[in-house]
Amino acid sequence: MAGQSLNGKRIAFLATDGFEQVELTRPWEEIRKAGADVELIALRSDEIQGMHHAEKGDRFKPDKTVSEVDAVDYDGLVLPGGVANPDELRLDKHAVRFIRSFFDQSKPVAAICHGPWTLIEADVVAGRTVTSWPSLKTDLKNAGAQWVDAEVQVDNGLVTSRKPDDLDAFCAKAIEEFAEGVHLGQPHGKRPEAART
């Protein structure tokens, strides 16, 4: 990760109760070390609960709520995993809008473990090659993505990884993509209307 500077960049972390704590804290630390300003965005202003697998971890105070932010104000987005976290995020229209806006603006997004679930709801994975926690494979393929079993997969600004053991590779690639910035010509990932019927 040495050599990549994120000075002047602003990166959003979107999470809610049930996020896998290390999948937020480790990228947060690495991205801050690279020079970026980071903000924790949540569904509500209350503290959110981190998890260490099935055990409760620490609680974190969000900087802002997703209903009051806009992707135009950020240079990239990180989506930690945890089972409950993305499951709740994908049901929130503001969270889905926020995620989709990064793709509309061709900005880099990094999602790990169960984090890619939210990408399905935002309808941005069709035509992309991604990885995730293995139980999401069928969901991602049904949404039009090509799924691979790799510690990290990069597809034109979208960084995905499988699990906490992949965090070294995930953080390095996320920082690299955030440093590159906007990916002009980035395919939107949206499925053609005919494919939805």
Q: Which of 2, 8, 58, 76 is closest to 36 using CA atoms?
A: 8
Active site residue: 53, 94, 114, 188, which one?
114
Q: Which of 87, 60, 195, 85 is closest to 141 using CA atoms?
A: 195
Q: Is 188 part of the annotated catalytic residue set?
A: no
For residue 142, count CB atoms less than 10 angstroms from its CB and return exposed for 0-12, middle for 13-18, buried for 19 or more: exposed
Task: Go through the chain and tell me how many residues it has.
Answer: 197
Q: Residue 149 corresponds to which amino acid?
A: D
Quick one: DSSP state of residue 26?
A: H
Q: Do 116 and 158 form a contact (C-beta atoms < 8 A)?
A: no
Q: Is 183 part of the annotated catalytic residue set?
A: no
Active site residue: 113, 171, 183, 188, which one?
113
DSSP strand E in 28-157: where?
37-42, 48-52, 55-60, 64-65, 76-79, 109-112, 129-130, 146-147, 153-155
The residues carrying an active-site annotation are 113-114
